[in-house]
Structure 1
Amino acid sequence: MARVGLTTERLVRAGAELADEAGFDEVTVSALARRFDVKVASLYSHVRNSQDLRTRIALLALEEMADRAADALAGRSGKDALTALANVYRDYAREHPGRYAAAQLRLDPETAAASAGVRHARMTRALLRGYDLAEPDSTHAVRLLGSVFSGYVGLELGGGFDHSAPDSDETWGRILDALDALLRNWPAA
C-alpha cells in the first residue's frame, strides 16, 4: 500500500523541485523515493516509471508556462506582446531551470496534442496576428520565435554569456527589437 500523504500531484511537484535543484536528468523514481524516504515500490501506484514521472513534470512545466504566458499577453499586441511572451520563457527558465528543461522533453503525439503545448502555439499565433502574417509564414514565424527563445535561454543558462560584454540583458533587448523589425517586415517568399 502507498504511504499516506503521497499523491501523484505531490510526487510530480516534488520531482519538479528536484529537477530545479539537481537537473532534469537526475529525476528518477529512485531519487524521488529517497527524497520521501520510502521504498521505490510505494511510488508505483502513482507513477508507472521514471519516464512517466518525467513526462508528468514536462506537462506541469508546460502548463505553468502557458498560464504565465496567458497572463502576460492579456491586453497586449505587437512588440509589447512579443516582449511579454519572450520574457515569460526567459524568466521561467531562470527561476525553474529543471522544469524548463522538462518542457523541452519530446512527448508522444497523443500526449503532446493534449498538453499545454497546444496553448503555447495558439498564443504565439495570436501574437503573430498583430504582425499580419498569413500561412505558411505564420508557421515559419512560430518556429523562428521558438528557436530564438529556446536557443538564447539555453546558451544563457549554460553560462555562454557570463564573461562577455555587452550585458546579456542588453543583448536580449536587441534580439527582441530585431525580431519585432523582422516580423513587421517579413520577407516575401
Structure 2
Amino acid sequence: MARIGLTTQRVTFAAADLADEIGFEGVTVSAVARIFGVRDASLYSHIKNVRDLRTRVAVLSLAELADRVAAALAGRAGKDALVAFANAYRAYSKEHPGRYAATRLELDPEVAAASAAGRHASMTRAILRGYALEEPDQTDAVRLLHSVFHGYVSLECSGGFQNTQRAADASWSRALDALDVVLNNWPPA
C-alpha cells in the first residue's frame, strides 16, 4: 500500500530538488526516502530502482528545459532567437545544476522518444531556419550549437572560468556573436 502523500510525481520532484542541492550523482533511493522520513521500501511502489528514479529526473528536466527554451524563443528569429535559446539554456543550467546534469543521462530509446529530447533538436532546427541551412549542414549546425552550449555551461558550472581576467558573461556574449557569424557564413561542402 502506498504511503499517504507519496506519489511518483512528488518523489520525482524531491529527487530533482535533491540533485540541485547535492549533485545528480548523489540522488539515490535512500537519500530521497530520507527526505520523506520513510524507509527505502516505501518508495518502491512509485519507482522501480535508482535507475528509474534518475531517468524520471532526466525526463522532468528535459521537459522543464524545453519549456523554458520554447518560451524564450516565442516570436524571435535569426540571431535574436539564437541568443534567446542560448541564454535560456545557460540560465537553466545555473539555476538547476543537478537537473541540468540529469539531462545528460543516456535514456533508453523508447524513453527518449517519449521525452522532450526531440523538442530540443526541433527548436534548434527552428533557429536555423533563419540561417537558411540545408541538410546535411543543418544537422552539423545543430550539433555545433549543442556542443558549444553544453561545453560552455559545463565548464562554467564546474568553475572553469573563475580564474580568468575576462568575465564569463562577456565571453558568452562573444561566443554567441561568433556563432551567428559562422551560421551566416556557413562554408560550402
Aligned to 1:4: 4
SS across alignment from 2:162: coil
Offset, 1:165: 1.5
Offset, 1:128: 0.3
SS across alignment from 2:53: helix
Offset, 1:114: 1.2
Aligned to 2:42: 42
Aligned to 2:30: 30
Shift >4 Å, 4+ stretches: none
Q: Which amino acid aligns with 2:151?
A: G
Aligned to 2:145: 145
| 1:179 pairs with 2:182 | no
CA RMSD for the aligned pairs?
A: 0.6
Question: CA separation in 1, counterparts of 2:17 and 2:166?
Answer: 32
Aligned to 1:135: 135
Offset, 1:110: 1.1
Question: CA separation in 2, counterparts of 1:80 and 1:137?
Answer: 21
| Structure 1 gaps, min length 5 | none
Aligned to 2:21: 21
Q: Which amino acid aligns with 1:107?
A: L
Offset, 1:30: 1.0
Q: Which amino acid aligns with 1:118?
A: G
**Count of aligned pairs:** 189
SS across alignment from 1:107: coil
| 1:93 pairs with 2:93 | yes
- Identical positions, percent: 66
For residues 56-100 of structure 1, the C-alpha deviation after alignment (integer angstroms, 9 at most, x for no partner) is: 000000000111111100100011000000011100000000000
SS across alignment from 2:166: coil
| 1:102 pairs with 2:102 | yes
Offset, 1:2: 2.1
| Structure 2 gaps, min length 5 | none
For residues 154-177 of structure 1, the C-alpha deviation after alignment (integer angstroms, 9 at most, x for no partner) is: 000010101202110000000000
Question: CA separation in 1, counterparts of 2:83 and 2:99?
Answer: 21
Q: Which TM-score applies when normalising by structure 2?
A: 0.99
Question: CA separation in 1, counterparts of 2:143 and 2:181?
Answer: 17
Question: CA separation in 2, counterparts of 1:144 and 1:108?
Answer: 24
Aligned to 2:84: 84
